[in-house]
Amino acid sequence: MEHDSALYVGLDVHKDSITVAYAAGSGEVELFGKIGTTQADIDRLCKRLQSKARQIRVVYEAGPCGYSLYRQLVQKGFECMVCAPPLIPRKPGERVKTDRRDAVKLVRLVRTGDLSAVYVPTVEDEAFRDLARAWVSAKDDMKRARQWLKAFLLSHGVRYTGRPDWGPAHRRWLSAFSFGNLWQQLAFDELRRTIEDHLAQCGRLEAALREAVLDWRFYPAVLGLQAMRGVQFTTAVGMLAELGDLSRFAHPRQLMAWLGVTPSEHSSGNKRRLGSITKTGNSYARKLLVESAWSYRHPARVSPEIQRRHEGIPKPIIDRAWDAQVRLCRRYRKLAARGKNANVTVVAVARELAGFIWDISRLAMSLAVPREVHAQCNT
């Protein structure tokens, strides 16, 4: 039997089970029960729900299970929302948490519109993001392996007299060094071999990423962002892979808030109190943003490296990147002259840098990029 009123469905999703609750219109919330997570279980659930109403709105919390369930439900014709768990309202003193309670709570909150949806990337964007994250993880593993080798050498009183920057000279010294004890030499060789393996893995992933980005729909934005100071290929790809479609932000302040670089606030009456930044949203994108902002502590100029990246880029993007450099360098000097801490100053610059990233990305997507510029990412 079909009803005209909307059906609100809340799902508490786990690896092996899904707890389902629903409510028809403004009626009481009912518990459907617990189902499995296989395709057949989802199909049976969809048939049962479709027999109850024409319009069905489903919500579940973002978690480690990803967005496959979201795509299955959308394909079935349902309205689906993946909500942000930290932004779910919670009553003070609420101490009991179960799967049933969570499912019922989601139904009530989606009916009143008190949930905040997360951005669900397309299948292609998610695949590119997975590749970019694999590259980042490989670089982190290599960094940890290098730290372990340095700590191992330091614990045995072995010090490199030059600059330990893992350049050719440093690596030649490591390959020629040996311990007198056989067991220590075995441990040293394994640590050194681990670094070489991670280095080769990083090279393979970077080559795959540079090849894949040529066919990515946000490739014009990758080129446009590299026209800015402090934004190279690593930063541009990593940030856009995490941000996704920037057109979903109607104003740059929304992007700043999503990155967590806006100040927290606790105001009451005539008193306005601003605190540290919120640090919400994607931590890796915020890290890249702050690292890029450090380059604006120097006077504004176009280095040969930046000039090389400008080749073939439309002039409006280059002009906007120069405007950003002039403004942000001046901003850093003004805050530093007022005695602000360097870290506080850089975060303030990073907040404005996010606005320029929003503007240049949208500008780059709207302008045609010559095909010959595409070779820049492979250099």
- For 216-239, what is each residue's pLDDT tens digit? 999 999 999 999 999 999 999 999
Read off the pLDDT band of 204 (50, 70, 90): very high
- Which of 261, 234, 233, 236 has the alpha carbon at shortest distance from 246? 236
Kindly give, in sequence order, each residue whose CB lies less than 8 Å from that of residue 210, ignoring residues fewer than 6 positions away: 233, 377, 378
Instruction: For residue 19, give the H/E element and its range.
Output: strand 18-24
Q: What is the pTM of this model?
A: 0.89
The pLDDT, as a whole number, for residue 368 is 60
The pLDDT, as a whole number, for residue 2 is 46
pLDDT at 370 over 60: no
* CA distance linking residue 292 with residue 289, whole number of Å: 5
The pLDDT, as a whole number, for residue 274 is 85
The average confidence (pLDDT) of the chain is: 92
Q: What is the mean pLDDT of residues 211-217?
A: 94
Which of 121-130, 200-209, 236-245, 269-278 has the lowest average pLDDT?
269-278
Tell me the Cα Rg of the chain.
26
The pLDDT, as a whole number, for residue 164 is 87
* CA distance linking residue 91 with residue 285, whole number of Å: 31
- For 287-343, what is each residue's pLDDT tens digit? 999 999 999 999 999 999 999 999 989 999 999 999 999 999 999 999 999 999 999
Instruction: For residue 208, give the H/E element and its range.
Output: helix 182-212
The pLDDT, as a whole number, for residue 129 is 96
Which of 95-109, 218-232, 277-291, 361-375 has the lowest average pLDDT?
361-375
Q: What is the mean pLDDT of residues 84-100?
A: 91
Helix axes 283-293, 342-366, angle to 10 degrees: 100
- For 250-302, what is each residue's pLDDT tens digit? 999 999 999 999 998 888 888 888 889 999 889 999 999 999 999 999 999 99
Length of the chain in residues, anyone?
Answer: 379
The pLDDT, as a whole number, for residue 194 is 96
Q: Parse the chain into domains and list their residue ranges.
A: 7-112, 123-215, 219-378
Three-state secondary structure call for residue 58: strand
Three-state secondary structure call for residue 18: strand
Tokens 């919400």 locate to 280
Proportion of the chain above pLDDT 90, given as a percent: 84
- Residues 292/349, Cβ–Cβ less than 8 Å: no
pLDDT at 1 over 70: no
Read off the pLDDT band of 372 (50, 70, 90): low
- For 136-145, what is each residue's pLDDT tens digit? 999 999 999 9
Read off the pLDDT band of 3 (50, 70, 90): very low
* CA distance linking residue 232 with residue 222, whole number of Å: 9
* CA distance linking residue 218 with residue 232, whole number of Å: 15
Read off the pLDDT band of 369 (50, 70, 90): low
Q: What is the mean pLDDT of residues 62-86?
A: 94
Three-state secondary structure call for residue 98: coil
From residue 354, alpha-carbon distances to 75, 252, 256 in Å are 35, 7, 6
Main-chain dihedrals φ then ψ at residue 133, nearest 5 degrees: -70, -35
- Which of 143, 150, 138, 160 has the alpha carbon at shortest distance from 188? 150
Give start and end residues of each alpha helix (H) in 51-122: 68-75, 99-112
- For 148-199, what is each residue's pLDDT tens digit? 999 999 999 999 988 888 989 999 999 999 999 999 999 999 999 999 999 9
- Classify domain 7-112 by CATH architecture: 2-Layer Sandwich (3.30)
From residue 246, alpha-carbon distances to 129, 190, 255, 358 in Å are 15, 44, 8, 7
